[in-house]
Amino acid sequence: MRNFPAQYTLNDEDVLYFSHIPKTAGMTFRTIVEDQFDDREICPATLNAQVAKIPKDQLKDYRLFRGHLGFINIPELLPGKEVVNVTILREPIARVISHYEYIRRMPGDPHYRAVKDMTLAEFAQKLTAGKVGKNIQTYHVAKAMRFKLDDLTPEETLALAKESLDNFAFVGLVERFQDSLFLLSYILGWKPILNSRKENAAKKKKSFDEIPAETLEIIRENSLLDLELYHYAQEIFETRFNEMVQQLISQFGTAADQAETISSDRLKELLELHYEQRYRDLDRTPSSTLLYDFGQALRGMGWQRRECPPSGPPAYRWTGPGTVSTLDLPQIAPPNGNCLLEFRVIATQATAPNILDSLSVLVNQNPVRLNTLHSDRGVKLLQAVVAPEMLKSERPFTEVKFEVDRVTSLNAVNPLDPDTRQVGVALNYVQLFPQETERQHSAAAQLFEDEAWKNTIDFLSQHLQPQEVVIAPLAFRVMVNNSVLDYDAFLEGKQAQWLVLHKGMAAQISTILMKLLGRGLSPVFANEVFVLYSNRQGIATANYASKHVRPVYIDRVKKNVEHKLKTLYRQYAGKKQLIRSSPKG
């Protein structure tokens, strides 16, 4: 880091390589670094053997390598690329103890058979230097400078590791993890990263007081290289961190900052201003539309790790672990009129319904009113009108803020789901476009590619007359020019000549059915998805006992019973699982 620039912007030919040394908070750090890259830019391999299976011409397309790759020569695999190295180090004695305990509780670990019957003292001294227990940090760091170390003495390896650290873009310390994330954000111009994730962390860590003094001395004697390298890394870290603080205060601070020891909260504020300046320096040309999917790099805060379904895109993220999540989206060109903000919430059945109901959105701190375009099978498509003045901002991006009133774990909603992360709602895309281009850009238009949707809109278009009002999922607004109102408007007494009932969408379907006859609306068209009602004269009515109308009335009772039984079963199974896992006696 002494030879690496204090601030650096990764370019297209750079490859960021995070050397994940075991038990150095690497799993948490890895997901944080992954946030900064598009999913397609991240090498999927995290182990040496996995990288070896990827064709070399494919490797060149990746801009992020991360994982336990200390025994594969990354630069040799990427000719013509500039490898930018980052890593996290940990106090060596604590790291050895943690690694020993981890291997012994993980039968799937490749070193489990060799280590499971060892004492901690044996683990620290028996294993080969640079492998698992003995000076592993020194050898990992040295290999970034020179891959083959077999002909070097331990002292020469340590000297090489120090020289290697001098050329790293970043070295963080587990014991100062949040400060490390701040320093990384500063160096690479990323949004200030807050430590809100704990991946693969041990539930209980053994204290030094629980370990015999002679065992600790054996660990120390067999970690001398790592201890010296760690102290060297501490010196580098302190220097770079203090230089960062002084530069931030000089550029963005006040007289009060000069006089006081800076708090973590204040440092975050200064880093946010620094991030805005670095973002502005990118000088991005605004476009008329914007589409963000969660496979793209994340610029924002308050999100869980990216998740990519095995069947392929789209990727998605849960909000959490807090109640506020933000996206910093590129600014769009000034529109002539209103814009539409549209996003899709998925897995609505997996979290508590009242969390989704509490969702609110702000654009550049301006609240917007959410409308549901479509809701079915665990997916909800939401849209809001954004006035041109809401898009004006002194910051170089458009901030979209999502807020819920609480978070919970998926396990709390469904005891059969082992996921205990605190989450709110899950999103898989967000877009912003001029309202006048809704038909071209709204995801709602894609719904009408389905045969049932297409047939329904065709029937409605053939019979719909100017000025007639339609009650329907708001997605129909994309396809018709008439006034389209949602089901809430109908229940509030709004008169309409047409009502398009989506069999799986309307939560208030029972109430709607009771009001239809009173308003003179009868079924005139039906298919497997919709029943279309009208009070227009001269249109033949459909039989209530027909194949597609009947389920709305009779089969609905059956579905309600089935849903209640499934809910009861999940609760029963969860309690049973809890009883089995509780300690006996």
Q: How far is CA 491 from CA 197, 354, 383, 514, in A?
A: 44, 21, 21, 10
Q: How far is CA 25 from CA 103, 320, 328, 527, in A?
A: 15, 20, 27, 55
Q: Quick one: CA torsion of 184, 189, 195, 196, rounded to 10 degrees? A: -150
Return d(Cα 585, Cα 580) in angstroms, integer: 12
Percent of the chain past pLDDT 90, that is, above it, reads 75
Which residue type does 354 have?
A: N
User: Where residue 127 falls among pLDDT bands split at 50, 70, 90?
Assistant: confident
CA atoms within 13 A on the CB side of 300: 27
pLDDT digits (tens, 9 = 90+) for 511-545: 898 899 889 999 999 999 999 999 998 999 999 88
Q: What is the pLDDT of residue 566?
A: 59
Determine if the pTM surpasses 0.85: yes
* Per-residue pLDDT at 351 exceeds 90: no
User: Where residue 435 falls among pLDDT bands split at 50, 70, 90?
Assistant: very high
Which helix (H) or strand (E) segment holds residue 92: the answer is helix 92-104
Q: What is the pLDDT of residue 454?
A: 97
Higher pLDDT, 40 or 312: 40
Q: What is the pLDDT of residue 556?
A: 58
Higher pLDDT, 202 or 264: 264
pLDDT digits (tens, 9 = 90+) for 43-56: 999 988 899 899 98
User: Where residue 585 falls among pLDDT bands split at 50, 70, 90?
Assistant: very low
Residue 30 structure tokens? 């890895």
* Per-residue pLDDT at 238 exceeds 70: yes
Q: What is the pLDDT of residue 233?
A: 98
Q: What is the pLDDT of residue 560?
A: 56
Q: Helices in 443-555 by DSSP H: which ranges?
A: 444-447, 451-463, 487-491, 509-518, 550
Q: What is the pLDDT of residue 574?
A: 58
Residues pairing with 2 in the sheet: none
Q: What is the pLDDT of residue 129?
A: 67
* Short-list 457, 551, 459, CA closest to 503: 551
Q: What is the pLDDT of residue 563?
A: 56
* Per-residue pLDDT at 507 exceeds 70: no
Q: What is the pLDDT of residue 71?
A: 78
Which helix (H) or strand (E) segment holds residue 155: the answer is helix 154-166
CB atoms within 10 A of CB 466: 6
Q: What is the pLDDT of residue 509?
A: 84
pLDDT digits (tens, 9 = 90+) for 398-422: 999 999 999 999 999 999 999 999 9
Return d(Cα 232, Cα 1) in angstroms, integer: 11
Residues recorded for the chain: 585
Beta carbons within 8 Å of 311's beta carbon, 6+ residues apart: none
3-class SS at 85?
A: strand
pLDDT digits (tens, 9 = 90+) for 182-216: 999 999 999 999 987 766 555 566 677 789 999 99
Distance of CA 100 to the CA centre of its chain: 31
pLDDT digits (tens, 9 = 90+) for 534-575: 999 899 999 988 999 988 887 655 555 555 555 665 665 555
* Per-residue pLDDT at 40 exceeds 90: yes
Least confident of 360-369, 482-491, 566-575: 566-575
